[in-house]
């Protein structure tokens, strides 16, 4: 029988989707899918153990799905790196070409194609299938190549492009953005439907043992792992969100409760980022729920905006400005990341609880990331790259593309205000109003100076004072800067003293 020329399709850990054009344009009869569990790749960053379970279990389940769909899969488990398995694969199949989807991290596609070139393989690289936008969707909106494009402008373009929540080309309900309806304060005794749990099957149990064996020194705990790691389970998780939490998603979006880790959030980011779920199918399901009268418009619009607005915008900003974006530090922040981010040892209740969530689950919802963990980093002046690396390591949905614009841009304002026109800085007043954290806390949210004063307060005012010249030019900061200016010299000096003491203690490695 004539031996057919084979093509290799190399699939990596965050590409577990049948939508990949590396697959859809290929013929299973003349292709072999290559999948490699490189231990070195997972040691580059001290990833949370749960994240590693998600990636490896996701790969093994996806390999099963591929085989069931008629593909040949050449799978290498627990190997030191990519080089030897790739060589073994080439010896086994003698491929004449390689196909690959674009890697999500800057510079990695080039590294992998260079590796393939060592075996004489030219690689056809296909656009990433986990995103709906193209580079042009951002670029076309900029008057000059360097001009800023806001998320809101980009989002409206994406609504028109996808046709989501449109009636005759106009936004359903008459408004593009219903965020103003989504800022309800948490109410006492609020309860939320628990997300579904997926008991680990044999594959996942093997992976859990493997992660403990090779990555025992990584942060986080695997605990009673119950996240979806297959397409089938991810679809169940999506159904459950649409049926049980989507309707309440909007109103409670900004609320924080110490006893409620997930609230009405979807918990789908990790499955969307690895390709188990298609962002478009998530949006379409949400729109259908609205049209069927099963979910209110402000919730559905809010959810769709997170996906086709924020998520796509973040992806585009990353590719537009990398690699220099990660070096940005517009506010000159240089405080080392406090050790309590890793070990949880702080008396600040909101931070202690949030860090505990992350250590135990690899997850915290958006407002905890932005307004507690990130806000502290912003006003204390933590070095952007150190903060970025912590988030990247600790979150199950963390990838470089999503961390850089979210942490360096949105959270720390270190990109000079591209992602957000105004910094998301807040004092204890905000946290106290939007959560139940302050009551049991050792610190007093109403005080700004003195040993019992909440550190967020003096750090917040001092942050405004430190950056007075810059923020004076920012219209959106006018009101808070007026509040700072209205303080008398004695008050300002006291706030600055308290903040200097706190920052000195943080710099010395003391916990607060």
- Contacts with ligand FAD by CB under 6 A lie at 265-269, 272-273, 303, 306-307, 310-311, 314, 365-366, 369-370, 374, 391, 395, 397-398, 402-403, 406-407, 410-411
Question: Which two tokens mark 412?
Answer: 């720390």
Of the two residues 96 and 258, which places its CB atom closer to ligand SF4 in the complex? 258
Of the two residues 256 and 317, which places its CB atom closer to ligand SF4 in the complex? 256
Count other Cβ atoms within 10 Å, centred on residue 321.
19
272 binds, among ligand FAD, ligand SF4, none (CB under 5 to 8 A by kind): ligand FAD
Question: Which two tokens mark 286?
Answer: 């949400």
Of the two residues 438 and 464, which places its CB atom closer to ligand SF4 in the complex? 438
Residue 280, CB-side half-sphere exposure with 13 Å CA sphere: 11
456 binds ligand SF4 (CB under 6 A): yes
The Cα–Cα gap between 275 and 251 comes to 28
The Cα–Cα gap between 512 and 503 comes to 10
Q: How far is CA 329 from CA 159, 324, 384, 388, in A?
A: 32, 11, 7, 12
One of 428, 464, 499, 506 touching ligand SF4 (CB under 6 A): 428
Question: Which two tokens mark 45?
Answer: 């960053």
158 binds, among ligand SF4, ligand FAD, none (CB under 5 to 8 A by kind): none
Choose among 345, 323, 397, 366: nearest CA to 47. 397
Which residues 6+ apart lie within 8 Å of 94 measured at CB?
A: 6
C-alpha distance across the termini of the chain, in Å: 73
Residue with tokens 């979006």: 253
Nearest approach, Cβ of 456 to ligand SF4 (angstroms)?
5
Nearest approach, Cβ of 107 to ligand FAD (angstroms)?
18
Phi then psi for residue 406, to 5 deg, are: -75, -40
One of 98, 454, 464, 480 touching ligand SF4 (CB under 6 A): 454
Of the two residues 378 and 499, which places its CB atom closer to ligand FAD in the complex? 378
Binding mask 344-363 for ligand SF4 (x = CB under 6 A): ----xxx-------------
Residue with tokens 């026109």: 421
Choose among 220, 31, 142, 29: nearest CA to 20. 31
Question: Which two tokens mark 214?
Answer: 């090779």
- Could you tell me which stretch among 83-91, 228-236, 432-440, 475-483 binds ligand SF4 (CB under 6 A)? 432-440
438 binds ligand SF4 (CB under 6 A): yes
Are 176 and 153 in contact by the 8 Å Cβ rule? The answer is no
Residue 370, CB-side half-sphere exposure with 13 Å CA sphere: 19
459 binds ligand SF4 (CB under 6 A): no
One of 241, 437, 460, 463 touching ligand SF4 (CB under 6 A): 437
One of 26, 304, 330, 441 touching ligand SF4 (CB under 6 A): 441
Of the two residues 283 and 367, which places its CB atom closer to ligand SF4 in the complex? 367
Binders of ligand SF4 in range 478-497 (CB under 6 A): none
Choose among 53, 61, 56: nearest CA to 233. 61
Of the two residues 158 and 348, which places its CB atom closer to ligand SF4 in the complex? 348
Of the two residues 154 and 456, which places its CB atom closer to ligand SF4 in the complex? 456
Kindly give the pairing relationship between strand 123-126 and strand 166-167.
unpaired
Nearest approach, Cβ of 288 to ligand FAD (angstroms)?
17
Are 245 and 226 in contact by the 8 Å Cβ rule? The answer is no
Beta bridge partners of 7: 31, 97
Residue with tokens 């750090």: 459
283 binds, among ligand SF4, ligand FAD, none (CB under 5 to 8 A by kind): none
443 binds ligand SF4 (CB under 6 A): yes
Residue 19, Cβ density class (10 Å: 0-12 exposed, 13-18 middle, ≥19 buried): middle
Kindly give the pairing relationship between strand 170-171 and strand 166-167.
antiparallel
Nearest approach, Cβ of 66 to ligand FAD (angstroms)?
24
SS3 158: helix
445 binds ligand SF4 (CB under 6 A): yes
SS3 125: strand
For 464, the enclosing helix (H) or strand (E) is helix 455-466
Nearest approach, Cβ of 365 to ligand FAD (angstroms)?
5
Question: Which two tokens mark 48?
Answer: 């949370």
Of the two residues 303 and 456, which places its CB atom closer to ligand SF4 in the complex? 456
Nearest approach, Cβ of 189 to ligand FAD (angstroms)?
22
Of the two residues 200 and 445, which places its CB atom closer to ligand SF4 in the complex? 445
Nearest approach, Cβ of 262 to ligand SF4 (angstroms)?
20
Classify residue 406 by its DSSP letter: I
32 binds, among ligand FAD, ligand SF4, none (CB under 5 to 8 A by kind): none
Of the two residues 63 and 403, which places its CB atom closer to ligand FAD in the complex? 403
306 binds, among ligand SF4, ligand FAD, none (CB under 5 to 8 A by kind): ligand FAD
Nearest approach, Cβ of 426 to ligand FAD (angstroms)?
13
Nearest approach, Cβ of 311 to ligand FAD (angstroms)?
3
154 binds ligand SF4 (CB under 6 A): no
SS3 311: helix
Size of the site for ligand SF4 (CB under 6 A): 13
Are 424 and 374 in contact by the 8 Å Cβ rule? The answer is yes
Binding site for ligand SF4 (CB under 6 A): 348-350, 428, 431-432, 437-438, 441, 443, 445, 454, 456
């Amino acid at each position: 029988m004539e031996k057919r020329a084979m093509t290799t399709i190399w699939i990596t850990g965050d590409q577990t989707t049948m939508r990949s054009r590396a697959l859809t344009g290929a013929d299973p009869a003349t292709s072999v899918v290559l999948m490699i569990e490189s231990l070195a790749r997972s040691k580059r960053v001290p990833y949370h153990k749960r994240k590693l379970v998600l990636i490896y279990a996701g790969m093994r389940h996806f390999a099963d799905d591929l085989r069931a769909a008629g593909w040949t899969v050449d799978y290498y488990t627990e190997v030191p790196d990519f080089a030897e398995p790739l060589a073994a694969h080439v010896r086994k199949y003698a491929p004449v070409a390689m196909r690959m989807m674009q890697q999500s991290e800057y510079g990695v596609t080039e590294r992998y194609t260079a590796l393939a070139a060592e075996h004489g393989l030219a690689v056809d690289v296909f656009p990433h299938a986990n995103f709906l936008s193209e580079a042009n969707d951002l670029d076309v909106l900029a008057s000059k190549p360097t001009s800023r494009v806001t998320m809101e402008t980009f989002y409206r373009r994406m609504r028109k492009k996808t046709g989501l929540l449109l009636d005759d080309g106009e936004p359903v309900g008459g408004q593009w953005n219903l965020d103003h309806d989504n800022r309800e304060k948490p109410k006492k005794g609020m309860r939320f439907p628990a997300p579904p749990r997926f008991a680990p099957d044999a594959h996942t149990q093997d992976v859990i043992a493997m992660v403990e064996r090779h990555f025992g020194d990584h942060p986080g705990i695997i605990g009673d792992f119950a996240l979806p790691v297959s397409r089938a389970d991810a679809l169940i998780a999506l159904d459950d969100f649409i049926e049980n939490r989507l309707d309440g998603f909007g109103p409670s979006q900004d609320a924080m409760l110490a006893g409620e880790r997930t609230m009405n959030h979807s918990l789908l980011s990790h499955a969307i980022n690895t390709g188990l779920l298609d962002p478009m199918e998530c949006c379409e399901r949400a729109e259908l729920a609205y049209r069927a009268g099963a979910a209110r418009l402000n919730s559905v619009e809010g959810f769709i905006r997170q996906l086709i607005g924020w998520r796509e915008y973040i992806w585009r900003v990353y590719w537009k400005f990398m690699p220099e974006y990660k070096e940005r530090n517009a506010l000159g922040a240089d405080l080392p990341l406090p050790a309590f981010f890793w070990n949880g040892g702080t008396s600040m209740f909101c931070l202690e609880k949030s860090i505990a969530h992350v250590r135990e689950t690899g997850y915290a919802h958006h407002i905890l990331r932005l307004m507690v963990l990130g806000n502290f980093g912003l006003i204390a002046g933590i070095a952007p790259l150190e903060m970025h690396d912590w988030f990247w390591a600790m979150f199950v949905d963390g990838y470089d593309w999503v961390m850089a614009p979210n942490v360096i841009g949105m959270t720390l304002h270190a990109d000079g205000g591209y992602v957000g026109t105004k910094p998301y800085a807040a004092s204890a007043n905000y946290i106290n109003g939007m959560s139940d954290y302050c009551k049991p806390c050792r610190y007093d949210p109403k005080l700004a100076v003195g040993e019992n004063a909440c550190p967020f307060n003096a750090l917040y005012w001092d942050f405004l004072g430190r950056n007075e010249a810059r923020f004076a030019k920012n219209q959106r900061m006018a009101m808070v800067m007026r509040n700072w200016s209205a303080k008398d010299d004695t008050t300002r000096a006291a706030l600055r003293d308290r903040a200097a003491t706190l920052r000195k203690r943080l710099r010395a490695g003391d916990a607060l």
